[in-house]
Each structure stands twice: as C-alpha cells, then as structure tokens.
Structure 1
Amino acid sequence: MIFRLLFLCCILSSCAAQQEKINGVSFVASRDAVSDVHTNPVVEVGANYAAIMPFGFVKSIDHPEIVHNTNRQWFGETRPGCKQYIEELRKKQIKIMVKPQIWIRHGEFTGFIKMTSEADWKAFEDSYTSFILEYAELAQETKAEILCIGTELENFIKERPDYWHNLIKKIKTVYKGKLTYAANWDEFKRTPFWSAVDFIGVDAYFPVSDKQTPSVEDCKAGWKDHKAIIKSLSEKHNKPILFTEYGYRSMDFTGKEPWVSDHKIESLNFEGQANATQALFEEFWDEDWFAGGFVWKWFHAHDRVGGENDNQFTPQNKPAETVIQTYYSRQ
C-alpha cells in the first residue's frame, strides 16, 4: 500500500512538472555584460525562462558564409557573452533556451535565403552547421534546457530538407537537451522535421484583428481558426506547441500584421498591445498541449527601455508588462 502511494505521488509530481508553463522572455543581446541590475526585472515579471540569442551575420540572401562569434560583434551576440548571460540568469533560477539567429544585411528576411548554385548551397550548409554546433556545444556546456536550431528559415528548409534531418542528428551527438525550431507563423504547417524535435516552435505573429484598438474579445475571436490549426498539428505529431516568439507592438492596428517592424510607424497604442497580449494568454496558457512561450523583446536595461514614448514590441514599462506579470506569476 505504501509503495502504491509513493508511486502515485511520483506520477502526480511528474505530471505537475510537465504542466509547468514556459514563461519566457527573449533576452536581447547587447554590448554589455549583465548583472543583478539586468536580471532582477526578469524575475520580477515572473519569467522562469529566457531565450539567449547569439547572432551570425550574412551579407545577402544568396551569400554562402555566416560570420559568427567574432570580436567585431556585440558582447551578447558572441559565445562568451551568451555564456555570461546564462550564468547570471542561472543565479536567479531562470531556465535557458539558446536560440542562435541570422541577421542579413539591410534586414532582409531570413525566410528568403536562397543560394544560386549547388556549390554555394554546400558552402552555406557547412557554414550553418559550424554556427549551430558552436551554440549546441555552449548549450550542452551550460546545461541549457532547450536549443532552438534555427529561426524563420523556410526556403532553406524547403530547398534542403535532407540537410536539416542530418543536421538534427549531428546536433544530438553534441547536445542532450530538448530541441525546437522557430517557424514563422505562416511556415510552421510545412516544416518537415517536427517528429525529430521536442517542441513545435512557432513565432506567433498571427493576424487576429483589423481594429485600430482591438479588444480582448476581438483578438480571441481572431485566434479561432489559427488555434484550431495549431492544435491539430500538435495532435498530429504528438508534440507540444511552443511559441518561440510572441508579442505585439504598442501601436494602432497591432493585431492586423503583428510581424511589422517598420520604424516609420509613429502611432502609440498601449491599450491595443495589452488587450492582444491578454487574449493570447487567455487562448493558450491553460491548454495542456501548449508548452508556453517567449515574449518578444526583453532588453537588459529595463529602466531605459519601453515606456510611454515607445511603440515597438517590448512590453517593458507599459501596461502589457503588467498583463504578462499577472499570467507569469500564476504558478
């Protein structure tokens, strides 16, 4: 009888651990090392995870070389910088997703990467492998809970699917934690290797409302069709959904095209951002097939970012931060 009770307690404890949501922030790389001053706000918002984002740089969508981990980059974009960030966040019991990303000169979209010859594709594959394995090693060294193997690279995956299956096998010889890939909101249905990773990762910039200031109910209604597709993919692959990025700008029509990062837009609308954020939480955070997500973006210098004159994605020092804190602090 005692053995059965102990066994039942273990089962219940395991289920509770599995149901803990990933309440994450996308911790933006900077020139600086970080300290308690920078990590305390992560704790205060209720986060239990941070995505650490080293960068590799490419000259154009058809250039076959990724430059990474050099002394010409910002500290937080390099391997030593990422390690320092992770060590500081670990002091606060924050778990880690290592999420290497590519930046193409002039901000061209990574989903359009396309080499012009087989030789260039091979060279690009070799360069990408070097980039990802660099940070797979770091993820293993720092015992990061999750490694994201790429972000919004649809055409690269479409053109070279065999490469990606082989890359995942190589990564697994280096890194023993959980894997995901950050598919764009309009890409994730076609990603061919979900069965080989642990989470179906989605950058969740789904259009949910055409209104200038959408209400919570407007946005919840706008999620209906998207949510059905997301859930069906989770069921198909028997994998939890992870929003590798989610968030809204504090501007008018924030739910119409949430992926837009145009700095020429001048409108300010904190109510719309807060409402859209709350709707996302209400739709997803209580679903057992949903693992959680990482809000985009969270800057290290909390006291100097966001606020009443900022219409970009960060929720910091805006009403949306209070919404996030409310949901992240529930467990």
Structure 2
Amino acid sequence: MFRGWLLPLVALASFHADLRAAPEETTSRPIRGITLSTHWSGADWAHDTIEPTLDRIASTGANWVTIHPYATIDADGTVVFRPIDPDNPPEHVVRPIREAHARGLKIMIKPHLAYWGSPFAWRGEIQFGDDEPSWQRFFASYQRWIVTLAIVSHDADGFAVGTELGGTLDHEAQWRSIIEAVRDASATPLTYAANWDSYRKVRFWDALDVIGIQGYFPLDDPERRTYDPVSGDPIDRILDEAEIRRGWGRLRAELREYSVELNRPVVFTELGYSRAFSTALRPWESRVDGEEARSMQRLCMRVALETIEAEPTLIGVFLWKWFSEPRALGRDFQLAHPKMIRLLRQVWGESSSSMSRSATGG
C-alpha cells in the first residue's frame, strides 16, 4: 500500500494515477523530516534511548525521520556488511521503524557506504575506472546489501537505493537492475539521494518515485564571486539575508523546472547548515565557528524551510542531523540545539496553521 510519500504532490497531478492523493491531502502533508544519525554505526537506534529521542524529534513538528544504516567498501569494490537474517531482522533497523510509527512518524531508510579506511576520499569518488572485475564485485555485493536491507525494512515508508554515489552513475544498466530487484523485494516508495552537483547525471529517475537531492547548494551568486589570484579559490564573504533569499529563489526555479520536465517531485534527502559564517557558501562543510555564527546557521535554515514549504514541486526535506539521547547535539550541524528546535517549531508550526486555515477556508 502506498504510504504517503507523494501526498504533498500538487503540480504533478498526472504522476502515476494509482499514487495520486486526494486534493485536500496535498495541502496538509509536506515531508518535514529529520535525520537520526548515529555515534555507534547504528547500535544506538536499537537502544531504549530511541524512545525519548523520537519524542523530542516529534515535538519539533517533524512528521518523518530517516536513518542511514552503514556498510563499508574495500579497495577492490567489495561492499562489506554484517550478515542480515530476514527472519530475524536486526533491531537497529526494525526498532526505529516500529518506534517511529508508534509516534505517528513516517520513516525513510537511506543506506550509506562508509568510505573510512578505504582509498576513497568520500563516497562520491567511489569508482574503478576500466577495472571491470572491481565494478562487477561492487555492483553484485552492493545489490545484495541493498536488497537485503529493503526486505528487512519493508514496513518503512520510503527507501533510498543509494546515497551520493556520483562516480557510479554512468553504469545506468546496473542501477536499473538494483532498482528492479528492490521493487521485487519491497513495495516501499523509492528514491536515490543524489549529491547537489550531480543530480542531473542520474539517468534512472523514471524508475524511481521521487527525485532525491542532497541539498547542500552554495547560495551565493556565481557571477559575484571573487577569486584568490594565487590559489584560484573563491574568497569567502558573509552573505546577507537578501543574497540568501535570492540564492534560494534561483534554486527553487531550477528545481521546479527539473521536476516538471521529469514529471517527478523533489525531496531533499539531506539539507543542513553548520554553525559557521561560511555555511551559506559551502553548506556541506562541518566547520564550526563561535556561538556568534549561530545566527547565520538559523538564517540559512529559516530561508530554506520557508522556500520548501512554499514550493509545491519540493515535497519536503530531511534535515541533517540529530543524534540519540543523551548526546543528541553532536559537534557541527547541531540540529538539536534549543535555538534550532525553536526555529523548527516556529516555521513548521506556522506552516501547519496556515495550511489548516487554507483547507478550511479560514
């Protein structure tokens, strides 16, 4: 049964008639998601602390969460993961699903390849050139992992078949094979989490339900950048609110056009801003400045959330990131900071009230 991934869909009414939502639903259920990350490779998701953690997340106005189970990758392309018994599924996968649903939250499973200890600088650089045996090992072992995860998380409300694997996107046939195998294993709606700079390289969006994008887009105007004459790197500057709003305006128009062209809605599978003065320029960085930079973090987040809430083709977001109690804060993105929680409640609460008034004619 379709579980609501596309309920916010407004502009793409022709998308898969069997998945269309009633008009009244499209104005009331945007995806307001939070990424529940992990300090211990997912073990904390199986611990009792997940209960107060999800309670706090729900108190922000969130209606979705996502977790990101890990596998590792060897230099020869082999994807290594703990054995998973579908008849006795791991608690760190199924307990978050169970606990989220008990609180009225929906949940997406978004697998991540951990590149630490491998020769790859990050998962976007995973690729094997003309080494065909390594490519074969990679896709065979990756598919086994992904399909097994899809089977044990079949009660989830969304599933990402991959995250930030830009170096593999030229292998379209292999990706379509993975998607088909996941479809055979689970009825859960599917996406792929493309990095912000490679989403147009994905050639298999038609095989998925939703366009997923890791939304770490720079918000400055490229035409206004200045560059260091020696290194050639852009020179940092602090963006003001008007520039940040213009940046999100450009992004909104770009993604709306892409969404309509592909007849698919867009969800930000990740989006976050660190506590740094440069966060509007390079949102993907985990740099942390002093507490005085919190205002820049909050400004970027507010503009992002307001833009997403206002654009029908952007059906929602999963914010990065939150950890399990009692260490919910983390070091950099610090979504669980009281000032960030207050912002989420303000924006998501105001949007909910506005949509309720609109739906009732008030």
TM-score, with normalisation over the residues of structure 2? 0.78
CA gap 1:311/1:212 in 2 versus in 1, 3 angstroms:
farther
Aligned to 1:224: 249
Contact 1:113–1:153 (8 Å) recurs in 2: yes
SS in 1 for 2:310: coil
Q: 2:63 matched to 1:43?
A: no
After superposition, give the CA deviation of every residue in 1:204-246 in whole Å (9 maximum; x if it has no partner).
0001148755443321112233222211110101111100000
Aligned to 2:334: 314
Give the AA of the match of 1:92: R
Q: Out of 163, 187, 204, which is 1:176 matched to?
A: 187
CA gap 1:237/1:118 in 2 versus in 1, 3 angstroms:
same
Contact 1:215–1:276 (8 Å) recurs in 2: no
Aligned to 1:111: 124
Contact 2:76–2:137 (8 Å) recurs in 1: no
Give the AA of the match of 1:125: F
- Size of the aligned set, in residue pairs, is 303
* Match runs of 1:1-331 below 5 Å: 14-19=22-27, 20-29=29-38, 30=40, 31-32=43-44, 33=47, 34-59=49-74, 62-69=75-82, 79-106=90-117, 108-116=121-129, 117-140=131-154, 143-158=155-170, 160-209=171-220, 214-262=239-287, 265-268=288-291, 269-301=293-325, 303-306=326-329, 312-329=332-349, 330-331=351-352
Contact 1:200–1:242 (8 Å) recurs in 2: yes
| CA distance in 1 between partners of 2:153 and 2:268 (Å) | 20
Please report how far the alpha carbon of residue 85 of structure 1 lies from its aligned counterpart in structure 2 after TM superposition. 1.7
| CA distance in 1 between partners of 2:146 and 2:333 (Å) | 27
After superposition, give the CA deviation of every residue in 1:133-182 in whole Å (9 maximum; x if it has no partner).
01110221xx2111111000111112x11101121111111111211010
| CA distance in 2 between partners of 1:242 and 1:90 (Å) | 21
CA gap 1:304/1:18 in 2 versus in 1, 3 angstroms:
same
| CA distance in 2 between partners of 1:87 and 1:217 (Å) | 43
| CA distance in 2 between partners of 1:37 and 1:286 (Å) | 31
CA gap 1:204/1:139 in 2 versus in 1, 3 angstroms:
same
Give the AA of the match of 1:63: D
| CA distance in 1 between partners of 2:103 and 2:200 (Å) | 36
After superposition, give the CA deviation of every residue in 1:264-301 in whole Å (9 maximum; x if it has no partner).
x5444110000000111222212111110100011111
Contact 2:93–2:153 (8 Å) recurs in 1: no
| CA distance in 2 between partners of 1:230 and 1:161 (Å) | 22
Structure 2 residue runs of 5 or longer lacking an equivalent are 1-19, 226-235, 353-362
| CA distance in 2 between partners of 1:189 and 1:227 (Å) | 15
Contact 2:275–2:289 (8 Å) recurs in 1: no
RMSD: 2.2
Contact 2:219–2:247 (8 Å) recurs in 1: yes
| CA distance in 2 between partners of 1:257 and 1:226 (Å) | 15
TM-score, with normalisation over the residues of structure 1? 0.85
